[in-house]
């Protein structure tokens, strides 16, 4: 499925950086010591067949707290999550991608099928939930707080925001990467880019800032190349480039590690995943070919420095750990023909995984989305899930956690649960 053919269901959980205080809109909470769920903010997009407006939605999600191995498998030990919609914005056209602005968690940036990039302040935007059910002919879209202009052709997917400054980067069919500083520009209408980076020869598919930097970026494109940029010296072109980074395959996505600043991961049209060391880009550090279809999303874990996840058109989210050597993983022990660095396959979706993200506060917790109308189901599926600690912890750690439950595991007698 190509980018143009794929209907997007954008998800961003990166804004959820703190537990909301009791008494906030959407409900009050017990004290943190007794609460089984932590409330997180979630931004997502909803797309329609034209019978209703395309929307941006802000919601609160109750994320069940992580439990130990023993607790997870004890009767009655699980906690359900819930989603509560707080505000709806009517978006001008479909949302292909959305990101939060880390310096302003209430602000999101969106890509549509247009050259413009839209910036939305959810604190000041009027709630349009009553208009969302109206047709496109009956209701005007909401007005963005800022419109970022500068692309000469549609910019549909490549979008990045810096966690060091209120900076936005975008790539498009005009082959350029544009960078804007949006600090202090809310409500100013349209603004032009501060920087234009030229070097790609075909559509830019993804762009991301180096964590803790607002001047260094990486981009990938349909010209098969990977390019690193430093906006302090943009006149000289990219600071580094890799031609045919995945052979002669379009590269759809890239992410820059926040815990090991020399590591990149890319995903391509043929399902390939490559890990790169920016200190030596002569060849990829790791090459994985496991997904059966195009890899559309990649993201490093914010908690484990060697872990990243990939989402694909094959409907699977894979979690990888590059610290594992070939031959020492479970796959080798079981003689299963998959890479030992593959920690987990989440196969809960019935169609293409169009977006996912790690929870920034709860380790090993992921939100993922798919568009199920591709299999005749209609609508989209949003899933919140957590990797069991039985998957990633050492055998010693697991046995220590399970020790209090030894008698229950051995006998199944629930009377031992009280003692544990």
Task: Evaluate whether 342 touches 326 at the Cβ level (below 8 Å).
Answer: no
- pLDDT band of residue 171 (cuts 50, 70, 90) is very high
Q: Domains in the chain: how many in total?
A: 1
Residue 28 resides in a domain: no
Average pLDDT (39-51) is 81
Task: Evaluate whether 304 touches 11 at the Cβ level (below 8 Å).
Answer: no
Predicted pLDDT of residue 338: 84
Residue 394 resides in a domain: no
pLDDT one-digit tens code per residue, 180-231: 999 987 778 899 999 999 999 999 999 999 999 999 999 999 999 999 999 9
Going by their DSSP bridges, the two strands 189-191 and 146-148 should be labelled as parallel
- Please determine, for residue 270, whether its predicted confidence score (pLDDT) is greater than 90: yes
Top-confidence residue, 17 or 323: 323
- pLDDT band of residue 287 (cuts 50, 70, 90) is very high
Task: Evaluate whether 66 touches 102 at the Cβ level (below 8 Å).
Answer: no
- 76-90, 101-115, 226-240, 386-400: least confident range: 76-90
Residue 392 resides in a domain: no
Predicted pLDDT of residue 88: 93
Q: Is 36 left (phi over 0), alpha (psi -120 to 50) or beta?
A: alpha
Residue 149 resides in a domain: yes
- pLDDT band of residue 73 (cuts 50, 70, 90) is very low
Residues 35, 271: Cα–Cα separation, whole Å:
41
Predicted pLDDT of residue 330: 55
- Please determine, for residue 29, whether its predicted confidence score (pLDDT) is greater than 90: no
Task: Evaluate whether 284 touches 342 at the Cβ level (below 8 Å).
Answer: no
Residue 29 resides in a domain: no
Give Cβ neighbours of residue 139 (< 8 Å, ≥ 6 apart): 53, 90, 128, 131
Residue 220 resides in a domain: yes
Average pLDDT (143-159) is 97
Residue 252 φ/ψ, nearest 5 degrees:
-95, -25
Predicted pLDDT of residue 349: 92
Predicted pLDDT of residue 83: 81
Average pLDDT (81-91) is 87
pLDDT one-digit tens code per residue, 344-389: 999 989 899 999 999 988 899 999 999 876 555 556 788 999 998 8
- 156-160, 240-244, 371-375, 406-410: least confident range: 371-375
Residue 404 resides in a domain: no
Residues 249, 271: Cα–Cα separation, whole Å:
10
Domain residues for the domain of 112 are 11-23+34-387
Q: Please, which residues bridge with residue 38 across strands?
A: 63
pLDDT one-digit tens code per residue, 8-22: 334 443 333 222 222
- pLDDT band of residue 415 (cuts 50, 70, 90) is confident
Residue 280 resides in a domain: yes
Predicted pLDDT of residue 361: 86
Average pLDDT (69-75) is 44
Predicted pLDDT of residue 194: 95
pLDDT one-digit tens code per residue, 100-125: 999 898 999 999 999 999 999 999 99
- 37-51, 262-276, 281-295, 299-313: least confident range: 37-51
Tokens representing 269?
A: 């049209």
- Please determine, for residue 49, whether its predicted confidence score (pLDDT) is greater than 90: no
Comparing CA positions, the residue from 263, 180, 174, 171 lying closest to residue 220 is 171
Comparing CA positions, the residue from 370, 363, 327, 362 lying closest to residue 346 is 370
CATH of the domain at 66: 2.130.10.10
- pLDDT band of residue 132 (cuts 50, 70, 90) is low
């Amino acid at each position: 499925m190509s980018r143009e053919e794929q209907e997007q269901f954008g998800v961003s959980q990166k804004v959820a950086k703190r537990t909301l205080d009791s008494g906030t809109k959407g409900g009050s909470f017990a004290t943190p010591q007794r609460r089984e769920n932590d409330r997180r903010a979630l931004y997502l997009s909803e797309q329609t067949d034209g019978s209703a407006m395309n929307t941006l939605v802000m919601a609160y999600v109750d994320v069940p707290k992580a439990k130990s191995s023993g607790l997870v498998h004890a009767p009655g030990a699980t906690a359900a999550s819930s989603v509560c919609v707080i505000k709806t914005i009517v978006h001008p056209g479909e949302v292909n991608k959305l990101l939060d602005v880390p310096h302003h968690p209430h602000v999101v940036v969106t890509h549509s099928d247009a050259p413009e990039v839209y910036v939305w302040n959810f604190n000041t935007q009027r709630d349009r939930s009553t208009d969302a059910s109206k047709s496109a002919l009956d209701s005007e879209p909401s007005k963005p707080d800022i419109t970022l202009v500068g692309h000469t052709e549609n910019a549909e997917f490549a979008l990045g925001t810096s966690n060091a400054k209120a900076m936005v980067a975008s790539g498009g069919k005009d082959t350029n990467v544009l960078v804007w500083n949006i600090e202090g520009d809310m409500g100013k209408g349209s603004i032009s880019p501060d920087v234009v980076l030229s070097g790609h020869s075909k559509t830019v598919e993804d762009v991301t800032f180096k964590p803790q930097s607002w001047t260094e970026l990486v981009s990938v494109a349909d010209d098969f190349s990977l390019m690193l940029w430093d906006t302090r010296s943009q006149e000289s072109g990219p600071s580094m480039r890799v031609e045919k980074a995945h052979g002669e395959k379009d590269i759809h996505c890239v992410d820059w590690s926040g815990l090991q600043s020399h590591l990149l991961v890319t995903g391509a049209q043929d399902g390939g995943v490559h890990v790169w060391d920016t200190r030596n880009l002569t060849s990829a550090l790791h090459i994985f070919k496991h997904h059966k279809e195009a890899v559309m999303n990649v993201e490093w874990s914010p908690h484990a420095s060697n872990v990243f996840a990939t989402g694909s058109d094959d409907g699977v989210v894979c979690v990888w750990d590059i610290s594992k050597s070939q031959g020492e993983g479970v796959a080798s022990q079981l003689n299963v023909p998959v890479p030992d660095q593959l920690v987990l396959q989440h196969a809960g979706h019935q169609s293409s995984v169009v977006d996912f993200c790690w929870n920034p506060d709860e380790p090993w917790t992921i939100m993922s989305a798919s568009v199920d109308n591709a299999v005749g189901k209609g609508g989209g599926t949003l899933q919140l899930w957590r990797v069991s600690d039985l998957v990633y912890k050492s055998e010693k750690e697991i046995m220590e956690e399970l020790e209090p439950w030894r008698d229950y595991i051995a006998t199944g007698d629930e009377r031992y649960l009280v003692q544990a």
